[in-house]
Chains A and B, each alone.
Chain A
Amino acid sequence: MENQTFYYDNKIVKNFAYATLFWGVIGMVVGLLLALQFIWPALTFGIPYTTFGRIRPIHTNAVIFAFVGNGMFTGIYYSLQRLCKARMFNDLLSKINFWGWQLIIVFAALSFAGGMTTGKEYAELEWPIDLLVAVIWLVFGANMIGTIIKRRTQHIYVAIWFYIATFVTITVLHVVNSLAIPVNLFKSYPIYAGVQDALVQWWYGHNAVAFFLTTPFLGLMYYYLPKAANRPIYSYRLSIVHFWALIFLYIWAGPHHLLYSALPGWAQSLGVVFSVMLIAPSWGGMVNGLLTLRGAWDRVREDPVLKFMVVAVTAYGMSTFEGPMMSTKTVNAISHFTDWTVGHAHIGALGWNGFLTFAVLYYLIPRMFQTQLYSRKIANLHFWIGTLGIIFYAVPLYWGAITQASMWKEFTADGFLKYPNFLETVTQLKPMYAARAIGGGLYIVGIVLGIYNLILTIRAGKFVPEEAASAPALVRAEGKRGSGEGMHRWLERRPVQFMLVALVAILIGGLIEIVPLYLVKTNIPTIASVKPYTPLELQGRDIYVREGCYTCHSQQVRPFRSETERYGEYAKAGEYVYDHPFQWGSKRNGPDLSREGVVSGRQYKPNSWHYNHMLNPQRLNEQSIMPVYKWLITDDLDISTTAKKIRVMQFLGVPYPQGYDKIANDDLMIQARGIADDLKSQGIQVEPTKEIIAMIAYLQRLGKDVHAAGMPTAAVTTK
């Protein structure tokens, strides 16, 4: 058989590797700044661009899509070529993938700092950047599928199955969750509202974890772990079961982010059941990874690559046990809205993704540069400092989470909340936040050591941009199944058909959960007293979204006595029908705001309080960790967008009267003058055209409609 010589493209791998290191440092330093802002809120510097709500999406997106994303591309571009025994399909597509991805990251950072956000966690990019993401992602997919098609091996190795599933599912998730109607270049409203938006968002959010942070990294594990250990994978049969079960089950689990919310109970139950079932395939992967090291554990002591891999796979096992546990309603009642979720996410991000990424880099950089790693000692130091960093990061947050949840739920013997002031439950956590910052700092020190080690390795070596390899040409089998060839064996050599079957597997769960919520109206009972936002409230809501208030405040009261006592009426599906996007949030560094405007409620504050709070929260309470928002007081509200916003809302089904867009600003000014006059009566001089007026209008609207409906304040559980 003819032996063909060809060249692996190492240059693209090197570019992605450098980008991984660069964005890793940026993303984590921003994370450290956020951690420090919990202790010293003045570190927001009193300017909009560095305030918590704006830079938190920079941190999460930089770590997920820039650090882990580039790490994923590094690992895939290296392993795919070698598993297919072929150069990448097209060098130009590789370059477009690389430069396009970096451009997206820069646009993302600038737009978030500038307050351009959709307000949906991990999907905050506005529509023009979303379109760019879709294009670049398809370029990556075309390049990958093209490479698989021109491969020189008959069988498609299981690692590549995970890469294919990643491509297919992220495409579906990104497109479906990003559907929005633009107001202008920098602002859009999602086509979904309230409960429907929440379900689609967390179907996306959970599966972004599954198919961006998990499946590609399982693929990397299936290539790099056998390579580093010089052992075949423990059980190929297990890898097949593990792969299909994982991609089928994962897609159902999204609703576990919405337990005790206004989401219909049947959808919550599906989310719980499938989340618990997920332990099996997840641990199948972990067991397969760890057992691959059988007979090679002595090398783990010596080899930093294997050390990083073992902790990565163990962290994967831990977080995939913890995740299903947090998805059960009993645990979720405690963990949700606390920093437990943040700790859980960081076990995955720092342990699984971060350590596996560094294992891959420590493996392939010396090989591409034809040299040994500069220092094994420094790599070991990186490993131990990083491991300590993870522990110091997560343990205080678990401790803090249980402390805070307990304080939220504690009643006195007389039946009153023991800690009615939310701030008491926050100040208690400051030592834990400090320990968390130390943990994050240690992890960054480890990364800096790693980068130093890799730079010296690179300097000592000589880069091989075109790596020669040879393999016999693939004799193409007929498209039809051969005699005795099972369906799956046939599928394992047909990338396009494989992709389509994977697509069906991931669509089943999504369709069964999402479609009924749209087709069956009884899922979202309407409430007659719930009306669309006034133009001023709508503008205020957009400022709320712009400033990322949802990153600290929820708008969803759970049906627990401890919450209805603290906040008021629990959340109903019908009260969010005009919320494009929903703003339920996922953690409470500050109190829930969904009943903020109920005058007789426990959370109500007058307009002047809101004004002073935005101007200087620490002046009202020096323990507060809320950032200042003094630019809301000086910046003019942009009312040139009001008419267009009303028209887009009308298009989305919000029942503003016909032609209302033309007179909306008149109503806006009437309401604004009312608030400005009220502030004036309290001795505060502010023009009605300032942003703070719109923000106050929005906050004072929250919860009013449900209260007007006269619903009983009865909790359905006693937790």
Chain B
Amino acid sequence: MLRDVFKSIGGFESFGLISMIIFVVFFALLILHTFSLKRKDVEDFSRMPLDDFSKESDEIQDI
């Protein structure tokens, strides 16, 4: 069946077009998602590495 699908989509040039469409849709949804994020959530997430304070290691400050 897969063979028939690949044979019937009208030449391999279509592959480039199909691939681009897949990516553009994927990318557009991604952009929509990131703009839908709440500002506070985004700020909290971006601070996560700084929240793993450990007394023993983070007292060793700038080397």
Contacts and interface: CB of A to CB of B under 8 A. Distances in A.
A244 B60 CA distance: 35
B38 to A, nearest CB: 10
A230 B34 CA distance: 24
Contact of A241 (B30, B58, B62): B30
Task: Tell me the interface secondary structure of chain A in the complex.
Answer: helix
Contacts of B57: 367-368, 370, 464, 467
B19 A241 contact: no
B63 A266 contact: no
Given A232-B43, A240-B30, A240-B33, A519 B19 contact: no
Contacts of B16: 266, 269-270, 273
A224 B6 CA distance: 45
B22 A157 contact: no
Contact of B49 (A83, A235, A302, A366): A83
A673 interface: no
Interface residues of B, number: 41
Most buried by A among B2, B43, B48: B48
Interface in A226-285: 226-227, 230, 232-233, 235-241, 244-245, 248-249, 252, 264, 266, 269-270, 273-274, 277
B36 A362 contact: no
Q: How large is the interface on A (under 10, 10 to 19, 20 to 34, 35 or more residues)?
A: 35 or more
A299 B63 CA distance: 11
A236 B6 contact: no
Given A303-B62, A372-B60, A153 B12 contact: no
Given A264-B12, A366-B63, A509-B19, A244 B30 contact: yes
Given A252-B19, A270-B15, A366-B63, A486 B33 contact: yes
Contacts of B41: 489
Contacts of A223: 49
A394 B1 CA distance: 50
A158 B49 CA distance: 10
Interface of A: 8, 79, 82-83, 85, 153, 155, 157-159, 222-224, 226-227, 230, 232-233, 235-241, 244-245, 248-249, 252, 264, 266, 269-270, 273-274, 277, 299, 302-305, 362-363, 366-368, 370-373, 376, 379, 464, 467-469, 486-489, 505, 508-509, 512, 515-516, 519-520
A539 to B, nearest CB: 36
Given A469-B52, A520-B6, 17 more contacts: A85-B52, A222-B49, A232-B43, A237-B34, A248-B26, A266-B15, A270-B15, A270-B16, A270-B19, A367-B58, A379-B63, A464-B57, A488-B33, A508-B22, A509-B19, A516-B15, A520-B7
Contacts of A372: 60, 63
